[in-house]
Amino acid sequence: MKMRISLIAKFTFSTSLILLVFMLLLDNINNKNFRKVMIGYAVSNAEEVANIINQSAYDAMMRNDKNSLYHIIGKIAESEDIAHIRLIDQKGQVVFSNLNAEIGSVIGKHADECIMCHNSESPDVPKLNSSRIITTKSGKEVLGFTKAIHNQPACIAASCHFHGKHDTVLGLLDISISLEMLRKKSREYRLDFFVLTCLLLLMIGTLVIVQTYFLVDIPVQRLVRQSTLVAAGDLESRVPVSSRDELGELSEAFNLMTNNLGNARKELEEWGASLELKVEERTREVKIIENQLFRSEKLASLGQLVAGIAHEINNPLTGILLFASIVSSDKRLDPALIADIDRIISETSRCADIVKRLLEFSRESVAHKESFSLNKKMEEVIALMYQHPNFQNINFIKVCAPYLPDVIADPAQIQQVLVNLFINASQAMPEGGDLKLSTRMSPDGGYVCIEIKDTGHGIPEENLNRIFDPFFTTKTDGTGLGLSISYGIVENNGGKLEVKSRVDEGTAFTLMLPVDDGTMPLTPRLPDNSNGK
Ligand code: ADP
């Protein structure tokens, strides 16, 4: 794993490095300049000493009083900074030196103190006044300063006539000044500079750390945290924008990106959810259509079979009924048999009724379609049912939509369906209850719907798919043909019949009939919405 180096550490390190290099360079330049200035100072010091010697020794020289001269020079040479002073005559012989061992020695023309003037055949005598830096055997630095002692008019005119008037330079005054003090000062100066540099580095480093921490590290850390949150799927939180600089702009851009990501995800989720709903809806529709198709096919094939059987049974049944009725009204009939004959008549009538309904079910009855108001038809059926003993304890609730167009169907057949649904509802509520009847348009506007909703015992889930099958009944005296016939009628009229039910809560049948397009109402067409009872 790669080692993590913080931004602050990198920034501080690089800044400190640059500063250090810069300081070292500055130290070098400073040191050179300092040395130059100090050497200049030492040269002027040496020149000063030479002048002092010149002036103090003038009288002694005029008097050719060498003892006094040497004494004066010796005294001056006792100064701490002066390494040694010597006098050299025209022949290069050391005539005086504060180092006794040197006295009498001869210095060649190529010695350091002479080469400055004697490096050419004709030395430039007037310029003879120069300095040099010498490193002694013990490693100490010394500034050598040589000053020419020029012949003076007073010298020529002196009683001793010691120097001829053509002698321009009488000798050399060679002063060596120790540069140890200078080196010491330089060392001190460099140490001070080093300490100052360290302090400066410390200060600048601290400043850089603090500044970087507040200006860079904190905003960057916030961005890193935010990126982690976004990566984990949190698209709600935002980075606080606290500055107007590049990092502030970056934070703003990041927030914008997070926002856009959030919107995109929301859109995707909504799209996914709506897709799921659409798929569910389509699946439901397909299932309903499949069921309808299955039921239609079943009804069609069953219809043919039933038609054959019903037709064959109908004639014998009519015969039985006829002869039973004749026997029943015959005076010769033993009164003890009257009840049995009546029983034969009632059961045969029941069979005849079943056969009649079977024939109704199987017959391809042609629907005589016409335009009529479903609201009105509902009112008519309520009025019809109102008299029926089954509805004595039932409370009718009507909720009729205004502006309903007429439907196009066979009104007599639709009435038969409604009566059947009403009767079934009443049978589901033997103790009484509410029968809510509401009309409305279908969402697609192609049908007018009527919902017949009771508060009866409901239909168990497992029976819901079977109630439209012929002969399916849960009643002891039921035929199981009512709903299958109704279903066939509704289909034949281009409509739909749907059911929803919950056990112990109730059942709702929805009858949907196609709209007669030319009858879209402009004003409300409401029947009386009050309770039918
Ligand atoms: P039948 O009424 O002769 O039984 P139907 O075809 O009319 O025949 O009804 C079939 C079955 O559907 C009924 O036996 C009953 O179980 C169920 N059913 C129909 N309508 C309702 C309803 N409103 N409430 C509860 N069950 C019903």
Tokens 């509520």 -> residue? 429
Instruction: Enter the tokens of residue 38.
Output: 């100090």
Rounded to an integer, what distance in angstroms lies between the CA atom of residue 261 and that of residue 324?
A: 87
Q: What is the pLDDT of residue 162?
A: 57
Nearest to 85 by CA among 68, 65, 64, 71: 71
DSSP 218-247: HHHHHHHHHHHHHHTT--S-------SSHH
Reported confidence tier of residue 90, pLDDT bands at 50, 70, 90: confident
CATH homologous superfamily of domain 370-514? Histidine kinase-like ATPase, C-terminal domain (3.30.565.10)
Where does the pLDDT of residue 124 fall: very low under 50, low under 70, confident under 90, or very high at 90 and above? Answer: very low
Task: Please determine, for residue 179, whether its predicted confidence score (pLDDT) is greater than 60.
Answer: yes
pLDDT computed for residue 216 by the predictor:
82
Least confident of 87-96, 155-164, 167-176, 453-462: 155-164
What is the CATH architecture of 288-362? Answer: Orthogonal Bundle (1.10)
**120: helix, coil or strand?**
coil
| 77 or 294, which is more confident | 77
For residues 498-527, average pLDDT: 83
Lowest mean pLDDT among 244-258, 261-275, 359-373: 359-373
Q: What is the pLDDT of residue 22?
A: 86
Tell me, what's the pLDDT at 156? 61
Q: pLDDT at residue 83 above 80?
A: yes
pLDDT of residue 128: 47
Instruction: Answer whether residue 421 shows pLDDT above 70.
Output: yes
Question: Tens digit of pLDDT for each residue in 67-77?
Answer: 888 888 888 88
0.75 exceeded by the pTM?
A: no
532 has pLDDT over 60: no
Residue with CA at minimum distance from ligand 1 atom 23: 425
Atom 14 in ligand 1: residue holding the nearest Cα: 473
Q: Ligand 1 center to residue 391 CA distance, Å?
A: 16
**Rounded (to 5) percent helix, strand, coil in the chain:** 55, 15, 25
The more confidently predicted of residues 226 and 118 is: 226
User: DSSP strand E in 442-482: where?
Assistant: 447-454
Pocket test for ligand 1, best of 437, 473, 481, 487 (most atoms within 8 A of CB): 473
Terminal Cα distance for the chain, rounded = 86
Probe target for ligand 1 pocket from 424, 476, 484, with the most ligand atoms within 8 Å of CB: 424
* Ligand 1 atom closest to residue 458's alpha carbon, by position in its atom list: 25
> 425: pLDDT confidence band, cut at 50, 70 and 90?
very high
How many angstroms is it from 474 CA to the middle of ligand 1? 7
Question: At residue 354, what is the residue type?
Answer: I
C-alpha 480 to ligand 1 mean position (Å): 7
Query: Which residue has the CA at smallest separation from atom 19 of ligand 1?
Result: 424
Which helix (H) or strand (E) segment holds residue 302: the answer is helix 246-328
Task: Dump pLDDT digits (tens) for 183-230.
Answer: 888 888 888 888 988 888 888 888 888 888 888 888 888 888 888 998
Ligand 1 first shell, C-beta below 6 A: 424-425, 428, 454, 456-457, 459, 467, 472-475, 478-484, 507
Lowest pLDDT segment from 48-52, 155-159, 355-359, 397-401: 155-159
pLDDT at site 197: 81
Domain coordinates of the chain in residue numbers? 7-186, 236-273, 288-362, 370-514
More confident residue, 228 or 84: 228
Tokens for 265, please give them: 């995800």
Is the pLDDT at 530 greater than 50? The verdict is: no
How many angstroms separate the alpha carbon of residue 416 from the centre of ligand 1? Answer: 15
- pLDDT for 126 equals 43
Ligand 1 centroid to Cα of residue 509, in Å, is 11
Atom of ligand 1 nearest to the CA of 473: 14
Residue type, 336: A
Looking at ligand 1, which residue's alpha carbon is closest to its atom 13?
473
pLDDT band at residue 143 using 50, 70 and 90 as cut-offs: confident
What per-residue confidence (pLDDT) applies to 441?
Answer: 94
Model confidence pLDDT, tens digit, residues 336-383: 888 999 999 988 988 888 887 777 766 656 678 999 999 999 999 998
pLDDT digits (tens, 9 = 90+) for 432-472: 999 999 999 999 889 999 999 999 999 999 999 889 887 88
Rounded distance, CA 46 to CA 171, Å?
17
β-bridge pairing 433-441 and 394-400: parallel
- Ligand 1 atom at minimum distance from 456 CA: 24
- Amino acid 398: pLDDT: 92
Sequence-separated (6 or more) residues with CB below 8 Å from residue 140: 178, 179, 180
Mean pLDDT across 387-412: 90
Q: Give 486 Cα–ligand 1 centroid separation in angstroms.
A: 11
In the DSSP assignment, the letter for residue 515 is: B
What one-character DSSP code corresponds to residue 216? I
Instruction: Look at residue 502 in the predicted model and tell me its pLDDT.
Output: 96
- Strands, DSSP E only, in 33-150? 82-89, 94-97, 129-135, 141-150
Measured in Å, residue 427 CA sits from the centre of ligand 1 at 8
Residue 506 Cα, ligand 1 centroid: separation in angstroms?
12
User: Which has the closest alpha carbon to 395: 242, 533, 487, 528?
Assistant: 533
What is the distance between the alpha carbons of residues 224 and 239, in angstroms, rounded to a whole number? 10
Q: Is the pLDDT reported for residue 159 higher than 70?
A: no
**Averaged pLDDT for residues 273-300:** 82
Most confident of 32-41, 57-66, 179-188, 320-329: 320-329
> What is the mean predicted confidence (pLDDT) over 223-241?
88
Hey, whose CA ends up nearest to atom 21 of ligand 1?
424
Distance from residue 492's CA to the centre of ligand 1 (Å): 21
Closest approach atom of ligand 1 to CA 425: 23
Please say if the pLDDT value at position 528 is more than 60: no
Three-state DSSP at 31 gives helix
pLDDT over 70 for what percent of the chain?
87
Tokens describing residue 91:
């022949």
Kindly state the average pLDDT of the residues 145-166: 67
- How close is the Cα of 30 to the center of ligand 1, in Å? 114
Residue 240 has pLDDT above 80, yes or no: yes
Helices (H), ranges, 363-473: 374-386, 411-428, 461-464
Q: Is the pLDDT of residue 324 over 60?
A: yes
Q: How does the average pLDDT of the chain come out, rounded?
A: 83
Q: How many CB atoms lie within 10 A of CB 35?
A: 17
Residue of minimum CA distance from atom 12 in ligand 1: 467
429 CA distance to ligand 1 middle (Å): 12
State the pLDDT at residue 527: 53
CA of 479 to the centre of ligand 1 (A): 9
The identity of residue 491, as a single letter, is E
Could you tell me if 515 and 463 are in contact, meaning their C-beta atoms sit under 8 angstroms apart? no
Distance 424 CA to ligand 1 centre (A): 6
H or E element: which one contains 513? strand 506-514
504 Cβ contact list (under 8 Å, min separation 6)? 457, 458
Among 483, 484, 489, 500, which residue has the most ligand 1 atoms within 8 Å of its CB, making it the best to mutate? 483
For atom 16 of ligand 1, the residue with the nearest CA is: 474
DSSP 303-365: HHHHHHHHHHHHHHHHHHHHHHHHHHT-TTS-HHHHHHHHHHHHHHHHHHHHHHHHHHHHS-P
Q: Write the CA distances from 22 to 19, 37, 201, integer angstroms.
A: 5, 22, 11
**Over 70: is that where the pLDDT of 395 sits?**
yes
Q: Give the CATH number of domain 7-186.
A: 3.30.450.20
Q: Does residue 117 surpass a pLDDT of 50?
A: yes
Q: Rounded distance, CA 61 to CA 65, Å?
A: 6
Given a cut of 80, is residue 116 above it in pLDDT? no
